[in-house]
């Protein structure tokens, strides 16, 4: 399996190493043990097992930080080594001992350093991989192991930090829940699975981790499974993810064989970058994996489970459905970036499937966030939108920007979710329009932290979201296209426009949320008990009040991070800062192409004008929303939530758009049953979907696989027609795809079983019996038995006749015998 | 003396015996008729033995005659015993009434 | 001790249950506790012997038959008493040895009507002998005898202790399987008359032979191609009915639904494996060339089974019937692995057999226990199991997760490698076709998640229906159930974490079974070649062997 590695020439990069990096498996193992302990002994603990979970996750956090520190020191070591070489020309860089591969030939390190003339993306430091055999089959060994590099340690830190805060927050939030212990057990299991996923050394492990986080998500969304709506949401999440998993399985299998039977992430990437792997297979696997990304990371059109997943407890939404699990798809792309970069031909292109899907998702998510009344749903759609941003960034080749956005987003989105949870904890509802309003008076700390989170999300300087968003916009090629000399991987102008629009929309809907939740007049207080589980206990009624310290401290910590983490990756040359202060994140996290498992990507030049322009866009969006809500709506009545005579009631086009948004682009109608949609609407929506699907396929064939134009068009049209048909049918009949499988299709199968197959078998049985009866009646009884019977009857009749001879008189017998003997004697005489 | 004379005597005796066996109803008479048949055979045996002395058979015919006399005695004994038993059971020795073999 | 195990171990393991059954016949019927003790004791002794076998098994030579006994049996037809164990049979043997005592323990607290433990347990013991014998027999007639011995006890278990429709179900089961067996027997006889035992690598003493070792190492190469295809066809139906493969599966839902819990468990855990075991042990190694010709059909029926079974599940209202249909889908994955004719795929198939045995067995246990409590398995009437019996509810959810192929649990390692193997079938087969199968099979995993979670949602989630809300009969897992279930649960996790426990054993045996030695090459070499070359290679192999004779 490692034949490829062994056959390789002298390495061009330095092997990193160190105890923490090599033994990173301990981190998920701790959480797995924590899960087992809580599951079996948690109920007997004084705090129901939560103390174990918290201790474990804090330990993991510390270990993750140490691992991160070790990685940073390794990067520094590699930098020094390059620097010393350049100045003295004779320094030999040592690879870390015991890490498998030989030290690099020196000149190539120099070469790598020179290639990376920008300096931020330092010497090629190789990821630390430690593996051992897991199972073998068909003579092939499959390994299990860990891989630690900048990306891994980033995710480790994010996951353990958010998880720690969520653990602490939950001790208050779900206190008194009847399944308190189970809740913590599954938090532990989820964290373990996520950590296992991000430390995977091979794609097989990634599949395992991927599905395990999915099942934890299932269990936690359905935490209050007494209510059918919750278990429905859990099922929907799991099944949608399962659709993506199908793509994941196929994509990984194709990659496995395309790369000469290896699961190793590093080998797969290397072979993809070398162009050893067939481009067609790379494209196919990239597209299959994209399905997986779409389902897990909530990309259009498999995102519909994510808003429903808000049925779970809020801390879970923060941890799983905002900060960590949903970025698994993004992480997958980042991990296998060689495959995506080459497979989708990201370099030198102006559009590709990943960027396009990311772009559409970011717009769809942001637009849907506008019409939600449920604060968690707003945040859920916002998460979809931001995940779209990340996918877009990866699609345009802005790898660091995507990961940096993942990093910052984790903090401010977790902050927003936990803030929303804090509010709902007070008002026992998530509905902004009926149960909130004016909350800033009751919950000042929550308000302040939520506001910080909102500003960070909206991307206003100098908070975290601004820096990461700006980098993504720069990564699309920025103004470069208009200047005629893009410094990035391609001229992704469409993506730039999409990103810009989204930035504006994000700012506007967050302003709406702030107004509806924290300003105006408190509309709640009429707490009705039929709110099912009420996301909490019915302990306190009356006026809403500020939450306790175990809820507020996580908010404060996250707010601090939401303000500061953006400075970790200042653009190069920002305000004349020295190199050692800018682009730190990119420097330590982005693998160098010299390490051979990461493609050579271009880094766009930061642009003041772009940053200023986007900030102006965001500010004007905030201003517009402010004018609408804070001024007009508030003037109408402090308790109002919308204008009585709003734009949607005045313009039929806007009204139609509003209906479309309210119905979430009819996606759920297509998947699941709903009310039939009028023919015109169904036709329009179906045409849109058909057009999108058809052009996507046609484009893929034409550009991606370099097929001729006409066949591509034909295939595209065919797929478009099929999609048009399915969507149109689903909408106009009100029977969605899933319902179709569940009801008519499954019933038809069962009918076939009962009435065709089983009936055939039964008929065979029945006919056999009938045939047997016929044989019995006509042949057995009719012929054979008759013969036998007649033989019997004949004998009997003869006997009746002959019995007269047997008179019992011996003398008679004697007479006959004598006569016979005489006769015989006579005969004898005659014959002789 | 001719052999034929003895054979004729024997044949006559045999025929009388057979007649008696087949016709008489009295069991004792039937037994006696059987004796006649046997003795007819005896005459035959003795006659052939005497006339074929020169052939030199290992066992002369008279020996067989002696055997038959002995067997006949035994046979009469068994036969009379059976007749007695039948008489005890049926108070009759009429053979026409003894038809247990009737089918 | 070692010599004893070597010579007598397998025979003892197989026949001890039969001895137990004879002993029980001598005990009066009223003495129930005695019956229970004897039955459990016997199976435990057998299980311990099984562990001894495991301990004495030479893992370095897992590809070779071990503990071989070869004694004269029916000389007239050259049938001998040959038994042996290799890495392919060992997991299944141990599965049987483990499942039966657990079923017996479970049955202590759950004797279905009309009670009568004596007969019930006796039948199970006879059944065990039949199952064990099938996995160790190395002579076709011996195999056939054991294969058929299994039928009768199962027929009675379903027909006497089953549900309302038991007579129909048991008769259907019996006749359908017997029909398959008849064709199988004809194939065996054809092999006997057509093959030449003396040209095989491990040559038999006579030309006409039932010795499986000879038949699987080249004795069949003298058979003409069309005869091979017919013979394979006979075995295909014989084993296919037992698996059961679409469209020969219709006996399964009825038998499973009507059988008593223990019967369902044994049926799912072991009996279905006899069919797939027949494929990997007999049909494919004997006739690799015919297998290559039949493989597209096997693969097609396998993927149809996957989708068909899944859709069938979605239409069920009865929980047990749903699980039964899911067996059709799961065995489809096993057959897909087999159809690839690669060592990878067949390994996956063997793993899939064990995993399916444990997981579906577990699901049937839970379903049976629910039936005991609710007296119905109509999913429209169930609900809220997690509230009324939380532990049982979690076990059900766990088993469902394992069944849908969650990584980290045993089911995944049967399903995923089978899909993986389908990407790259043996060279002589069409890769494109199998890749199509792969996609369909992957779609099956989505549907599997659908029906299993739907079942869990219907039965375990939500709140109890009014009917059962305050039913005092509904309680959580009992001690007997814990004893019977814990090993299942542990093994599902253990195999999920460390699949090598099974792959290590099966791998060498599977590789060897595909390697049919000829005079100038092996069938495995031929399978590895591209399609046209592969067929030519087979033809060469055959003619070389034919002329050598």
pLDDT tens-digit series, residues A375-417: 888 999 999 999 998 998 888 888 888 898 999 999 988 999 8
C211 φ/ψ angles, rounded to the nearest 5 degrees: -70, 115
pLDDT at B12: 94
Under a CB-based contact definition with an 8 Å cutoff, are residues A535 and A428 in contact? yes
Residue contact B102–A815, C-beta within 8 A? no
Task: Choose the mutation target among A810, A815, A821 for the interface with B, i.e. most B CBs under 10 Å.
Answer: A810
Residues 780-819 on A with a CB inside 8 Å of B are 802-803, 805-811, 814-815, 818
Pick from C55, C57, C43, C130: which is nearest to C87 by CA?
C57
Which residues in chain C are contacts of A745 at CB distance < 8 A? 311, 314
> Which chains neighbour B (Cβ–Cβ under 8 Å, 3 or more pairs)?
A
Cross-chain Cβ contact A761/C176 below 8 Å: yes
Whether pLDDT at A101 is above 50:
no
Kindly report the nearest CA distance between residue B18 and chain A, in angstroms.
9
| Cis peptide, bond prior to residue C244, ω within 30 of zero | yes
Decide if A239 and C250 are in contact by the 8 Å CB cutoff. no
Residues of A in contact with C391 (CB under 8 A): none
Residue C361 domain-assigned (yes or no): yes
CA A24, A27, A33 angle in degrees (round to 5)? 135
Cα–Cα distance for residue pair C471/C473, rounded to 1 Å: 5
Residue A422's pLDDT is: 87
Exposure string for C156-185, b = 16+ CB within 10 A, e = fewer: bbbbbbbbeebebbbbbbbbbbebbbebbb
pLDDT digits (tens, 9 = 90+) for A628-644: 888 888 887 877 777 77
pLDDT value at position A540?
47
> What is the per-residue pLDDT for A537?
45
C-alpha distance from A807 to closest chain B C-alpha (Å):
5
- The bridge status of strand A125-126 relative to strand A14-15 is parallel
Interatomic CA distance for residues C506 and C495, integer angstroms: 14
User: Domain map of chain A by residue range?
Assistant: 10-80+119-344, 644-671, 673-733, 755-831
Show pLDDT as tens, one digit a residue, over chain C (549 residues). Answer: 677 777 788 888 889 999 999 998 888 888 888 888 888 999 999 999 889 888 888 888 878 888 888 888 888 888 888 888 888 888 999 999 999 999 988 888 877 777 788 888 889 999 999 999 999 998 889 999 999 899 888 988 888 888 888 888 888 888 888 888 889 999 998 888 888 877 777 777 777 888 888 888 877 778 888 888 899 999 999 999 888 888 888 888 888 888 888 889 998 889 889 999 999 888 888 888 888 888 899 999 999 999 888 888 888 888 888 998 899 899 999 999 999 888 888 888 999 999 999 999 999 999 988 888 888 888 888 878 888 888 888 899 999 999 988 888 888 988 888 898 888 888 888 888 888 899 899 888 888 888 898 888 888 888 887 777 777 777 788 888 888 889 999 999 999 888 888 888 888 888 887 775 544 456 667 777 777 777 777 777 766 665 544
> Which of A18-27, A191-200, B59-68, C459-468 is modeled with the greatest confidence?
A191-200
Quote the percentage of chain C above a pLDDT of 70: 96
To the nearest whole Å, the CA of A32 is away from the closest chain C CA by 12
Rounded mean pLDDT of chain A?
Answer: 80
Q: Give chain B's domains with CATH numbers.
A: 3-95 (1.10.287.3510)
Measured from the Cβ of residue A637, the count of other Cβ atoms closer than 10 Å reads: 11
Residues 6+ apart with CB under 8 A from B23: A811
d(Cα A397, Cα A79) in Å, to the nearest integer? 24
Instruction: Inspect the interface and report whether the beta carbons of C454 and A137 lie closer than 8 Å.
Output: no
**Contact B21/A803, CB-based, under 8 Å?**
no
In total, how many domains does chain C have? 1
**Which chain C residue is nearest to residue A745, measuring alpha carbons?**
C311
Nearest residue to A706 via CA among A278, A235, A391, A200:
A278
Residue C98 lies in a domain: yes
Cross-chain Cβ contact C250/A256 below 8 Å: no
Search chain A and give the residue with CA nearest B19: A815
Which letter does DSSP use for residue C202 in this model? T
> C396 with C489: CB under 8 angstroms?
no
For the beta carbon of residue C383, count every other beta carbon within 10 angstroms. Answer: 22
- What pLDDT does residue A106 have? 38
- Do the chains contact at B98 and A811, CB–CB below 8 Å? no
Q: What is the model's pLDDT at position A8?
A: 35
Q: Which of A77-91, A650-664, C526-540 has the highest mean pLDDT?
A: A650-664
Q: What percent of chain A has pLDDT over 70?
A: 87
Question: Which residue segment(s) compose the domain that C146 sits in?
Answer: 2-544
Asked if residue A483 has pLDDT above 70, the reply is no
Give the pLDDT score at A532: 43
Q: What is the pLDDT of residue A530?
A: 43
Q: Per the CB < 8 Å rule, is A245 touching C445?
A: yes
Please report whether residue C549 resides in a domain.
Answer: no
> A808 vs B102: CB contact, 8 Å cut-off?
yes
Residue A706: predicted pLDDT: 63
Rounded distance between C-alpha atoms, residue C353 and residue A154, angstroms: 41
Cα–Cα separations (whole angstroms), residue C421 to A81, A473, C336, C507 = 46, 43, 9, 14
Name the nearest CA neighbour of C313 among C172, C454, C162, C419: C454
The whole-angstrom distance between residue C212's C-alpha and the CA centroid of its chain comes to 19
User: Which pLDDT score is estimated for A526?
Assistant: 58
Report helix angle C166-194 to A758-774, nearest 10. 80
Chain A to chain C, count of Cβ pairs less than 8 Å apart? 143
Nearest residue to A138 via CA among C217, C418, C276 = C418
pLDDT value of residue A113: 38
Is residue C494 a part of any domain in this protein?
yes
The confidence score (pLDDT) of residue A482 equals: 52
**In chain C, what residues touch A242 (CB-CB under 8 Å)?**
445-446, 449-450
Identify the three-state secondary structure at position C66: strand
Chain C interface mutation, best of A33, A258, A753, A769, highest count of C Cβ atoms under 10 Å: A753
Measure the CA–CA gap between A64 and A56, rounded to whole angstroms: 12
A313 near A258, Cβ under 8 Å? Answer: no
Express each pLDDT in B59-97 by its tens digit.
Answer: 778 888 999 999 999 999 999 998 898 888 888 888 777
The answer, yes or no, to whether the previous bond of C420 is cis (omega within 30 of 0) is no
Global confidence as pTM: 0.81
């Amino acid at each position: 399996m490692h034949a490829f590695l062994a056959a390789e020439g002298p390495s061009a990069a330095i092997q990193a190493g160190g105890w923490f990096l090599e033994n990173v498996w301990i981190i998920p193992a701790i959480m797995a043990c924590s899960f087992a302990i809580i599951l079996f002994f948690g109920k007997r603990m004084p705090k129901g097992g939560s103390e174990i979970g918290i201790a474990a996750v804090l330990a993991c956090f510390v270990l993750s930080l140490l691992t991160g520190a070790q990685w940073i020191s390794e990067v520094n070591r590699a930098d020094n080594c390059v620097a010393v070489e350049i100045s003295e020309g004779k320094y030999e860089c040592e690879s870390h001992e015991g890490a498998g591969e030989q030290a690099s030939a020196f000149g190539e390190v120099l070469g790598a350093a020179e290639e990376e003339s920008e300096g931020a993306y330092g010497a090629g430091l190789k990821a630390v991989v430690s593996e051992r055999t897991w199972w073998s089959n068909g003579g092939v060994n499959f390994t299990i192991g860990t891989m630690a590099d900048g990306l891994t340690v980033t995710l480790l830190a994010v996951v353990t930090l958010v998880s720690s805060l969520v653990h602490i927050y939950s001790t208050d939030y779900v206190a008194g829940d009847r399944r308190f212990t189970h809740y913590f057990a599954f938090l532990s299991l989820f964290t373990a699975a996520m950590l296992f996923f991000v430390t995977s050394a091979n794609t097989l492990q990634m599949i395992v981790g991927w599905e395990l986080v999915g099942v934890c998500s299932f269990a936690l969304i359905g935490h209050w499974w007494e209510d059918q709506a919750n278990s429905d949401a859990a099922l929907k999440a799991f099944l949608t993810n399962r659709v993506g998993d199908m793509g994941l399985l196929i994509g990984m299998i194709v990659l496995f064989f395309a790369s000469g039977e290896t699961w190793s992430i590093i080998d797969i990437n290397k072979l993809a970058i070398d162009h050893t792997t067939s481009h067609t297979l790379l494209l196919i696997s990239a597209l299959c994996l994209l399905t997986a990304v779409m389902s897990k990371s909530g990309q259009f059109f498999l995102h519909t489970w994510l808003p429903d997943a808000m049925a779970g407890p809020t801390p879970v939404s923060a941890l799983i459905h905002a900060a960590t699990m949903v970025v698994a798809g993004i992480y997958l792309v980042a991990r296998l970036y060689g495959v995506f970069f080459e497979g989708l031909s990201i370099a030198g292109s102006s559009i590709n499937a990943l960027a396009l899907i990311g772009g559409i998702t970011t717009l769809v998510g942001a637009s849907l966030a506008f019409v939600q009344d449920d604060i968690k749903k707003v945040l859920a759609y916002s998460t979809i939108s931001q995940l779209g941003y990340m996918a877009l960034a990866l699609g345009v080749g802005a790898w660091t920007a995507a990961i940096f956005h993942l990093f910052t987003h984790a903090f401010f989105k977790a902050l927003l979710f936990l803030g929303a949870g804090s509010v709902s904890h007070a008002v026992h509802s998530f509905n902004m329009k009926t149960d909130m309003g004016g909350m800033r008076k009751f919950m000042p700390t929550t308000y302040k932290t939520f506001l910080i989170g909102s500003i960070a999300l909206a991307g206003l300087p100098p908070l975290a979201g601004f820096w990461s968003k700006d980098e993504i916009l720069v990564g699309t090629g920025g103004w470069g296209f208009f200047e005629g000399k893009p410094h990035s991987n391609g001229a992704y102008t469409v993506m730039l426009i999409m990103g810009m629009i989204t930035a504006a929309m994000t700012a506007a809907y967050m302003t709406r949320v702030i107004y509806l939740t924290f300003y105006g007049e408190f509309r709640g207080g009429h707490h009705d008990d039929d709110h099912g589980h009420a996301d909490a206990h019915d302990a306190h009624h009356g006026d809403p009040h500020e939450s306790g310290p175990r809820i507020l401290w996580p908010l404060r910590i996250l707010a601090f991070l939401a303000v500061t983490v953006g400075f970790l990756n200042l653009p190069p040359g920002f305000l004349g800062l020295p190199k050692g202060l800018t682009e730190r994140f990119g420097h330590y996290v982005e693998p160098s192409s010299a390490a051979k498992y990461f493609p050579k990507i271009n880094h766009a030049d930061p642009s003041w004008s772009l940053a200023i322009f986007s900030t102006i866009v965001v500010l004007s969006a905030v201003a517009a929303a402010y004018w609408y809500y804070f001024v007009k709506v508030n003037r109408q009545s402090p308790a109002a939530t919308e204008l009585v005579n709003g734009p949607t009631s005045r313009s039929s086009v806007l009204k139609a758009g509003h209906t479309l948004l309210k119905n979430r682009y009819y996606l759920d109608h297509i998947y699941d049953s709903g009310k039939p949609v009028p023919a015109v609407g169904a036709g329009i929506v179906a045409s849109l979907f058909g057009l999108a699907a058809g052009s996507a396929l046609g484009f893929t064939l034409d550009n991606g696989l370099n097929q001729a134009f006409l066949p591509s068009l034909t295939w595209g049209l065919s797929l478009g027609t099929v999609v048009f048909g399915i969507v149109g049918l689903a909408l106009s009949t009100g029977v969605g795809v899933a319902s179709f499988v569940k009801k008519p299709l499954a019933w038809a199968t069962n009918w076939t079983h009962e009435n065709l197959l089983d009936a055939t078998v039964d008929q065979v049985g029945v006919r056999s019996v009938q045939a047997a009866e016929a044989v019995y009646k006509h042949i057995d009884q009719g012929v054979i038995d008759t013969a036998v019977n007649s033989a019997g009857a004949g004998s009997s009749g003869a006997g009746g006749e002959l019995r007269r001879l047997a008179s019992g008189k011996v003398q008679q017998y004697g007479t006959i015998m004598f006569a016979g003997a005489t006769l015989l004697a006579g005969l004898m005489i005659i014959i002789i | 003396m001719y052999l034929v004379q003895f054979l004729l005597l024997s044949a006559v005796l045999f025929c009388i015996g057979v007649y008696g066996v087949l016709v008489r109803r009295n069991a004792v008479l039937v037994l006696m008729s059987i004796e006649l048949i046997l003795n007819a055979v005896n005459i035959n045996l003795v006659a052939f033995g005497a006339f074929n002395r020169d052939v030199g058979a290992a066992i002369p015919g008279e020996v067989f005659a002696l055997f038959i006399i002995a067997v006949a005695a035994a046979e009469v004994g068994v036969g009379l015993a059976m007749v007695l038993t039948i008489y005890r059971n049926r108070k009759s020795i009429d053979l026409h009434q003894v038809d247990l073999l009737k089918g | 001790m070692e010599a004893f195990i070597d010579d007598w171990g397998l025979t003892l393991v197989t026949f001890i249950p039969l001895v137990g059954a004879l002993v029980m016949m001598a005990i009066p019927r009223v003495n129930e506790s005695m019956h229970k003790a004897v039955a459990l004791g016997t199976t435990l002794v057998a299980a311990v012997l099984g562990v001894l076998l495991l301990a004495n098994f030479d893992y370095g030579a897992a590809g070779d038959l071990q503990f071989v006994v070869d004694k004269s049996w029916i000389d007239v037809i050259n049938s001998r008493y040959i038994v042996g164990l290799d890495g392919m049979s060992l997991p299944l043997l141990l599965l049987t040895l483990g499942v039966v005592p657990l079923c017996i323990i479970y049955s202590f607290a759950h004797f279905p009507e009309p009670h009568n433990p004596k007969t019930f347990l006796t039948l199970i013991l006879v059944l065990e002998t039949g199952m064990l014998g099938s996995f160790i027999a190395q002579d076709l007639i011996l195999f056939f005898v054991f294969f058929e011995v299994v039928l009768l006890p199962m027929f009675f278990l379903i027909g006497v202790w089953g549900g309302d429709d038991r007579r129909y179900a048991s008769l259907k089961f019996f006749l359908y399987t017997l029909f398959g067996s008849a064709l199988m027997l004809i194939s065996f006889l054809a092999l006997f008359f057509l093959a030449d035992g003396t040209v095989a690598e491990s040559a038999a003493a006579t030309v006409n032979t039932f010795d499986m070792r000879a038949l699987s190492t080249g004795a069949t190469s003298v058979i003409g191609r069309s005869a091979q295809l017919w013979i394979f066809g006979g075995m295909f139906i014989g084993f296919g009915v037992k698996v059961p493969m679409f469209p020969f599966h219709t006996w399964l839902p009825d038998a499973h639904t009507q059988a008593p819990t223990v019967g369902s468990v044994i049926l799912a855990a072991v009996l279905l494996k006899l069919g797939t075991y027949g494929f990997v042990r007999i049909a494919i190694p004997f006739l690799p060339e015919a297998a290559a010709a039949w493989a597209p059909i096997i693969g097609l029926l396998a993927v149809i089974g996957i989708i068909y079974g899944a859709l069938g599940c979605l239409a069920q209202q009865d929980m047990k019937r749903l699980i039964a249909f899911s067996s059709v889908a799961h065995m489809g994955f096993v057959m897909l692995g087999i159809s690839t004719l690669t060592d990878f795929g067949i390994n996956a198939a063997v793993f899939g057999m064990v995993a399916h045995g444990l997981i579906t067995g577990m699901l049937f246990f839970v379903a049976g226990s629910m039936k005991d409590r609710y007296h119905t398995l109509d999913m429209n009437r169930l609900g809220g199991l997690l509230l009324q019996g939380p532990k049982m509810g979690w076990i059900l959810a766990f088993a469902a997760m394992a069944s849908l192929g969650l990584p980290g649990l045993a089911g995944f390692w049967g399903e995923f490698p089978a899909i993986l193997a389908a990407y790259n079938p043996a060279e002589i087969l069409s890769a494109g076709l199998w890749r199509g199968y792969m996609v369909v099979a992957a779609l099956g995993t989505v549907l599997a998640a659908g029906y299993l979670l739907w079942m869990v949602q219907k039965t375990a989630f939500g709140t109890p229906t009014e009917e059962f809300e305050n039913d005092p009969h509904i309680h959580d897992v009992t001690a007997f159930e814990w004893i019977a279930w814990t090993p299942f649960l542990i093994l599902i996790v253990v195999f999920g974490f460390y699949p090598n426990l099974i792959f290590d054993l099966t791998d060498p045996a599977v590789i060897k079974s595909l390697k049919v030695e000829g005079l100038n090459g092996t069938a495995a070499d031929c399978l590895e070649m591209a399609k046209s070359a592969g067929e030519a290679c087979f033809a060469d192999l055959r003619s070389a062997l034919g002329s050598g004779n």
